[in-house]
């Protein structure tokens, strides 16, 4: 395999200045835009087939960790992807990619885990017994199939349908952004945040104009559910005029995350169709209300008020949504489904139904939205899943909380029940307060405490699977992990060997665990 310049001499790789952010650079800081390359179409990178995806990623892993000198014989189907990778990543003039060791670290600790965790999707297999944890695969449905999910294709559209339904509601604003002319280019420039979990990630700025058939630069997209990542080649020059090449990657982008700007949803919807903006479809399920912006609760949550003294819920509850902007309020009646919680958490069947009023939306996960719910004198957090597949994930999350029963109320939120109706599944937990903004805001003792709590979770055979700032709450000054929607059964191999615990120490800005001799 030749060098990059020999493989695609006709394509001018965009020039990008030094991408190393300083320690004092704000997370959203932009850098100079790309130099406009020739208007030449370069196919973008979408993974359709899980077997091809796994094969391609394994080839790519070997290729990146052995460069230079990699001489792989890729298949014809993989050639179009590998042709656009630089031959020599070891001399890339971009700081952290300058040696073989850090190149391997970039792959092992950044790209590979992000790909495996960010684009995994549940492989729906009706032959599996209900309640079994299904295997995770690197997989994405054909974007064209998303346009018409009722046309006989596989019904795996719970994440995508959620994104598309929001796209429908916000289509005028999205199309206005896509048609905006800025600096002679059609589209709106995007500023992607630096990945908070890994300092080696880079910020890069791309225009929506690159998405049409006259794609101006080689780039890639990995889709998976409602999350995706962008990859791009970049070119740099040293002070002596030497040209270097590298592979830039964004952080994980969530198109349904309401705490982020609308831009990720824009590019998700436009990238989802190779022929331009997708045609809208009318979903067959009732549209939930569009999420409202998170309102941070600065009030401390006292252990006595919201944990130990909370009463058990009866087997039936009524949930009421509050009316906003003239919208009509709605009510739902739900009944408890058993998750084999301690008997003391169950009230008598004869107890009257509890009335719970949903107020603000405080979060958004793969299984559904999280709302604050109040009764006359209690406050709860309710994770609501209005789709069948989301309900199945919520049921699995409830089962994980059952496995972690002895940690509830001290390391993780206490669960008060799993309720369902014909249209909704609801997991009711204690309200633990607001999430942290950045792990660097935590003290060293708090970060060590969080690591110890993760170790306790691992000791009980559970992996969290989605550790990030948005999934950490501060309760009376103590940090605790929340949201086990990505959790699964796990056999921990120890602090020095377990991949999640190793990544957790890195994420929490802690020094590596010394290896046992």
pLDDT tens digits for the chain (517 residues)? 223 233 222 323 333 222 223 333 333 333 222 222 222 222 222 222 333 334 434 444 443 344 332 333 333 433 443 344 334 333 333 333 333 333 334 334 433 333 333 333 222 333 322 222 222 222 222 222 222 223 333 333 233 332 333 333 333 443 444 445 555 544 443 333 333 332 222 222 232 223 333 333 344 444 444 445 554 444 445 567 665 444 444 545 554 443 333 334 444 444 433 333 333 333 333 323 322 323 333 332 223 223 333 457 888 888 887 655 455 577 888 888 864 444 444 444 456 788 999 888 887 766 778 889 998 788 999 998 876 667 888 888 998 998 898 899 889 999 999 998 877 889 999 998 888 988 888 998 899 999 999 999 998 989 998 888 889 999 888 899 999 988 888 888 888 888 889 889 888 988 776 555 4
Asked which of 254, 271, 288 is the last residue of a domain, the reply is 271
Q: Kindly list the distances between the CA atom of residue 19 and the CA atoms of 31, 203, 280, 307, 340, in Å, as whole numbers in the listed order.
A: 8, 7, 38, 46, 52
Quick check: is 293 in a domain? no
Same domain, 217 and 326: no
Quick check: is 286 in a domain? no
Same domain, 348 and 263: no
Same domain, 484 and 360: no
Q: Are the C-beta atoms of 210 and 216 separated by less than 8 Å?
A: yes
Same domain, 84 and 201: yes
Same domain, 28 and 93: yes
Quick check: is 280 in a domain? no
Quick check: is 292 in a domain? no
Quick check: is 102 in a domain? yes
Quick check: is 466 in a domain? yes
Same domain, 67 and 112: yes
Residues of the domain holding 336: 303-430
Quick check: is 118 in a domain? yes
Same domain, 170 and 51: yes
Same domain, 417 and 443: no
Q: How many domains does the chain have?
A: 3
Asked which of 229, 248, 271 is the last residue of a domain, the reply is 271
What whole-number distance in Å separates Cα of residue 150 and Cα of residue 145?
9
Same domain, 146 and 233: yes
Tokens linked to 59: 């080839």
What whole-number distance in Å separates Cα of residue 516 and Cα of residue 98?
30
Asked which of 230, 256, 271 is the last residue of a domain, the reply is 271
Same domain, 89 and 225: yes
Q: Are the C-beta atoms of 338 and 346 separated by less than 8 Å?
A: no
Same domain, 211 and 310: no
Core vs surface per residue 285-317: b (16+ CB within 10 A) or e: eeebeebeebeeeeeebeeeebbeebeebbbbb
Same domain, 66 and 157: yes
Tokens linked to 379: 């406050």
Quick check: is 290 in a domain? no
**CATH, residue 501:** 1.10.510.10
């Amino acid at each position: 395999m030749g060098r990059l310049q020999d493989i695609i001499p006709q394509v001018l790789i965009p020039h990008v200045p030094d991408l190393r952010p300083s320690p004092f650079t704000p997370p959203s800081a932009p850098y100079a835009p790309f130099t406009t390359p020739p208007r030449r179409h370069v196919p973008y990178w979408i993974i359709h087939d899980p077997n091809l995806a796994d094969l391609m990623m394994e080839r790519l892993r070997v290729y990146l960790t052995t460069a230079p000198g990699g001489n792989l014989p890729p298949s014809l189907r993989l050639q179009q992807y590998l042709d656009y990778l630089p031959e020599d990543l070891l001399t890339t003039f971009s700081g952290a990619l300058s040696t073989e060791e850090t190149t391997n670290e970039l792959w092992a600790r950044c790209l590979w885990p992000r790909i495996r965790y960010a684009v995994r999707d549940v492989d729906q297999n009706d032959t599996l017994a209900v309640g079994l944890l299904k295997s995770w695969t690197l997989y994405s449905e054909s974007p064209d199939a998303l346009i018409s999910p009722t046309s006989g294709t596989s019904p795996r559209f719970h994440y995508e349908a959620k994104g598309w339904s929001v796209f429908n509601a916000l289509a005028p604003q999205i199309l206005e952004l896509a048609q905006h002319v800025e600096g002679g280019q059609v589209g709106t420039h995007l500023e992607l945040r630096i990945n908070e979990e890994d300092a080696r990630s880079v910020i890069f700025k791309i225009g929506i104009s690159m998405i049409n058939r006259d794609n101006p630069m080689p780039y890639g997209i990995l889709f998976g559910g409602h999350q995706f990542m962008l990859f791009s080649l970049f070119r740099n020059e040293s002070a002596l005029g030497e040209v270097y090449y590298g592979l830039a990657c964004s952080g994980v982008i969530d198109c349904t995350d309401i705490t982020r700007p609308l831009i990720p949803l824009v590019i998700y919807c436009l990238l989802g169709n190779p022929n331009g903006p997708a045609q809208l479809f009318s979903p067959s399920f009732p549209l939930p209300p569009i999420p409202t912006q998170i309102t941070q609760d600065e009030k401390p949550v006292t252990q006595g008020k919201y944990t130990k003294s909370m009463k058990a819920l009866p087997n039936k509850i009524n949930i009421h949504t509050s009316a906003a902007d003239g919208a009509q309020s709605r009510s739902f009646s739900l009944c408890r489904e058993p998750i084999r919680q301690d008997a003391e958490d169950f009230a008598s069947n004869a107890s009257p139904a509890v009335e719970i009023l949903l107020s603000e939306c405080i979060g958004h996960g793969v299984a559904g939205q999280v709302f604050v719910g109040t009764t006359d004198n209690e406050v709860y957090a309710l994770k609501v899943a209005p789709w069948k597949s989301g309900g199945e994930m919520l049921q699995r999350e409830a089962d994980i909380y059952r496995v972690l029963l002895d940690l509830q109320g001290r390391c993780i939120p206490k669960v008060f029940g799993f309720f369902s109706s014909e249209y909704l599944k609801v997991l009711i937990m204690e309200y633990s307060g607001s999430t942290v903004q950045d792990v660097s805001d935590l003290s060293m003792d708090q970060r060590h405490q969080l690591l110890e709590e993760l170790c306790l979770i691992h000791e009980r055979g559970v992996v969290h699977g989605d550790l990030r700032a948005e999934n950490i709450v501060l309760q009376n000054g103590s940090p605790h992990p929340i949201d086990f929607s990505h959790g699964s059964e796990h056999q921990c191999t120890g602090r020095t060997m377990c991949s999640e615990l190793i990544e957790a120490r890195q994420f929490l800005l802690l020094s590596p665990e010394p290896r046992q001799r």
